[in-house]
Amino acid sequence: MAGGFVGFAVRRVLAAIPTLFGVTLIVFFMVRMLPGDPARILAGELASQEEVNRIRAQLGLTKPVVVQYEIFIRNALRGNLGRSTVTQAPVAYEIETRLPQTAVLAATATVLAGVVGIVSGIVVSTRQYTPTDYLVTVLALAGVSIPVFWLGLMLMLVFAVGLHLVPAGGDAGPTSLILPSITLAAFSLAIIERMTRSSMLETLRQDYVRTARAKGLAERLVVYRHALRNALIPVVTVIGLQFGSLIGGAVLTETTFAWPGIGRLLVSAISSRDYPVIQGVVLLFAVTFLVINLVMDLLYGYIDPRIKYG
C-alpha cells in the first residue's frame, strides 16, 4: 500500500506542475495583454521616464518573451515581485505586512466552519426528517445563498451599530475578529454541514454499522466509533476545498470590515491599477490554492485506504 501511495503522490505532484506553469503564465501575461507599454503600466502613470526605463531594463522587456518569462520566474522565486506603483514599497513587503491578518482571519473562519459544520451535520444526521433537520437545512441553504458582504453589513448593523457589543471594523484587538470570521465562515459552514449530514446518512446505512447495532452497541458508540470516522473522510476534502471560497470571501469580508489583510490590498490595487501588487497577490492566492488542493488530494489518498491509486 505504501508503495502505491508514494507512486500516487509522485504522479499527483507531477500533474500539478503544468498547472503551476499555466498559472505563472497567466500572471506573467496579465500586464502584457493590456494595451500600452508594460514598463509604463508597471511603473505607474506618474513615474518618471528614468523609472520606466529602469523597469524596462530590469524585466528585460526588450528581450524575447521567453527570456522575459524566465526573468519573471527567477525574480518571483527570489521574492522580488516589483514595487507598488502607489506606495513605491516592494510588493513582497506589502504582502508580508498583511499576510498575518488574512491568515488569522482565514484560520479562525476555517476552524469555526469546520467545528460547527461537522457537529451540526452529525446532530441532524441522527435526527433525519425532524424539525431540527428541516431548520438546519433551511439555515444551510441560507448560508450558501447569502452574499457574504451583506451578511457582514447586517451583523455590523446589529452587533456593532445597534448593540455596541463589538467594533464595527478595523483590527482593534481580538473582538474585532468575531464578526469578520463569522461572516467569512458562513458559506463554508453550510457546505461542511451538508456534506457531513449526507456522508453520515450514507455511512449509517452501511452493513458494518448495521452489524454494530445488531451486536447491541449503544447508539452513541455506533455513531461516534463506527460511522463518524468513515463519514469524515470526504468531509476532510471538502474542508480543504473551501479554501477557494475563503479567498473570494476574504476579499469581500476584509473590504466590508476594513480588515487590513491581503484581500483588501488586492481590491485597492485593482481600483488604483497597481499592477505589480495585483500580480503578486493573484500569484500568491493561486499558488496557495494549488498547493492546498494538492495536499488535500494526498491526504485523502492517505487517510482512505479504499482509494485506488490509478
Partner 1 sequence: MAGLAVLAVMVASAALAGVILPYNPDTADLGAVLHGPSLAHPFGTDQLGRDILTRVVYGGRISLLIGVFAVALGAAIGVPLGICAGFYRGAPDALILRIVDVMLAFPGFLLALVLISLLGVGFTNVILSVGIASIPVYIRLVRGVTLSVREQTYVESARAAGLPDWIIMVRHVLPNTAAPIIVQSTLQLGTALLTAAGLGFLGLGVVPPTPEWGAMLGEAQTYLLTTWYMATFPGLAIFAAVMAFNLLGDGLRDALDPRMKVL
Residues that bind partner 1 (CB under 8 A): 18-20, 22-23, 25-26, 30, 33-34, 128, 141-142, 144-150, 153-154, 156-157, 161, 168, 194, 197-198, 201-202, 243-245, 247-249, 251-252, 255-256, 266-267, 270-271, 273, 278, 282, 285-286, 289-290
Amino acid (one-letter) located at 19 = T
In which residue are the cell numbers 455506533 written?
A: 222
Q: Tell me how far apart the alpha carbons of residues 178 and 161 are, in angstroms, rounded to a whole number.
A: 15
Residue 51 vs 274, nearer CB to partner 1: 274
What is the three-class DSSP state of 169? coil
Cα separation of 138 and 129, whole Å? 12
Residue 2 CB, shortest distance to partner 1, in Å, is: 28
Interatomic CA distance for residues 164 and 160, integer angstroms: 4
d(CA 194, CA 190): 6
* CB closer to partner 1 out of 43 and 247: 247
User: By three-state DSSP, how is residue 90 classified?
Assistant: strand
Minimum distance between the CB of residue 198 and partner 1, rounded to whole angstroms? Answer: 5
What minimum distance in Å lies between the beta carbon of 133 and partner 1?
A: 11
Q: Which is nearer to partner 1, 170 or 248 (CB)?
A: 248
Kindly tell me which of 102 and 256 has the beta carbon lying closer to partner 1. 256
Structure-block grid coordinates of residue 53: 526605463
Tell me how far, at minimum, the Cβ of 278 lies from partner 1, in Å: 6
CB of 161 to partner 1, least distance (A): 6
Nearest distance from C-beta of residue 216 to partner 1, angstroms: 26
Query: Is the CB of 33 or the CB of 163 nearer to partner 1?
Result: 33
Instruction: Tell me whether residue 32 or residue 63 sits nearer to partner 1 (CB atom).
Output: 32
Reduced to 3 states (helix: H, G, I; strand: E, B; else coil), residue 83 is strand
Is the Cα dihedral 130, 132, 133, 134 positive or negative?
positive
Q: How far is the CB of 282 from partner 1 (least distance, A)?
A: 6
Grid coordinates representing 238 are 471538502
User: What secondary structure does DSSP assign to 73-133, as a single string?
Assistant: HHHHHTT---B-TTT-SBHHHHHHHHHHHHHHHHHHHHHHHHHHHHHHHHHHHTTTTSHHH
Pick the closer one to partner 1 by CB: 150 or 224. 150
